Amino acid sequence: MHINDLFPEVLGEIFTEFTAAALEAEDLAVASYLGPLLLSHVCRYWRDVALQNHELWSFIFVSQPPRDALRVKPSIELVKTWLERSHEWPVDLQTDLQNPTASKVMALLRLLITHSARWRAVNFEMKTPLDWDLLGGGIIDAPKLTRLRASWDAWPWLPVNIPQAAAQAIPIRWGTNLRQLECPHIYNQSVTIMSQLHWASLREIWLYWAADADIVFIFTHCPLLESCTFPFLSKRAMHPNPELLAPNLRTLRVAQAEESGRLFIYNSLTCPQLEFLAVTDTQGESANSDPGPAILGFFARSRCALTYLELSSPTLRTDDLLQVLVAVTASLRILKLPIDLYDGLSLFLEQFDLKRRGEFILCPQLVWLSLPIIELRHYPVLTSSLESRWNIPADLQSSVVRLQTVEIPFWGESERGWTEPLKALKAAGMDITIDDHLFRNHNVVEDL
């Protein structure tokens, strides 16, 4: 049977799957141009089928060559053709623009804006700012939008280096279908602007720069939110911490957060469904800081079945950390400890060692462990703990899973033969990696 013997509907489905594979690989350029052009130029039959498949032409990727920022690819004529061939099918749009104010780019953006009612997924990547008023001003209505991503320079809510009073409103007004929002910030916006947008449908949000007021707004207006990422977080207001319930939140990532911002999260949020928590790259934590009570309060309120925990807090006391682990011990599978947890590390490893177990077993479902920096004094209890989590005693094999992966940041001078137990575990199948922090022990790392 020849492929051209397939019914047009079946061949059209194959074309659609080809495009879907390119989208899954996040290659919109292939999905938008290479795919349709390739498929429609094989033969007349394939061309007829491709032209009848409106979805095939509904992906548009606009870019500018870095060395020729006055050009734009594809041409406006080709984009018009794609928009015509896609008929009324929802459009996925992505831009990668070096100079969005170039005349050809502006003309192309104006064309795309006339089809904003069809936008389904939009990703605006721009290397320099764009004054959206130059495109005609007014609100861009996109009622079918499900995903919106915008780089810093593409996001016009608060233009850089101008007074707040002159801040522009967001030009895109999405509808009730928006599920994912990724943008630089939402702070300092008027109630009028925010109330025009539908927030209740959001499932995932990524804010490059967030303040406490943003956190309050998000968790007050987005009850269905399942995933939040805040690469930079700060606390600006001095008012007391509010009580914020995130009933459906499953993933929370916080990085580069000021100490006050992290404490605001711990003291305000309650997340009963949380499964993934990563608070990393902490900044400005004073030596006298004690985040333990706030972190313990968060877990006491949330009572969540956490499976992934990553904490970076050099002042977190070991006894507080152990209390956190006790709170999530039944569900935790991946644990990444603060890299600077020097004091009390031996205590943690002793609690983790099945050879020293009492009635309570810490984290019986753990399969991945990233340790703090290891020093000479930790070698004996480290190897004992890892051996016990690999060679599980017979009476515990039905209730304790085997530890599969261990990451060890090593710092200090090595002792001859200290890696021998680790070599044996690695030979048996445990995935062990050592990061030589001071590059003083290459022979140890390579030998292992």
pLDDT (tens digit per residue) in 163-182: 443 334 457 888 899 999 98
Better-scored residue on pLDDT, 446 or 195: 195
Q: Residue 441 above 70 pLDDT?
A: no
pLDDT of residue 117: 93
Better-scored residue on pLDDT, 156 or 172: 172
CB 198 within 8 A of CB 224: no
Q: DSSP string of 158-198?
A: S-TTS-GGGPPPPSEEE-TT--EEEES--TT--HHHHHTS-
Q: Residue 278 above 90 pLDDT?
A: yes
**CB burial of residue 72 (10 Å; 0-12, 13-18, 19+):** buried
CB 281 within 8 A of CB 255: yes
d(CA 217, CA 418) in angstroms, rounded, equals 52
High-pLDDT (> 70) share of the chain, %: 69
pLDDT of residue 192: 47
Query: Quick one: DSSP state of residue 306?
Result: -
Query: Quick one: DSSP state of residue 31?
Result: I
pLDDT of residue 161: 43
**Beta-strand relationship, 308-311 and 172-174:** unpaired
Give the length of the chain.
Answer: 448
Q: For residue range 15-39, what is the model confidence (pLDDT) as tens digits? A: 566 666 655 555 555 555 555 666 6
- Best CA proximity match to 168, nearest among 201, 142, 139: 139
Q: For residue range 85-111, what is the model confidence (pLDDT) as tens digits? A: 888 889 988 888 777 777 788 888 889
Q: What is the mean pLDDT of residues 185-198?
A: 60
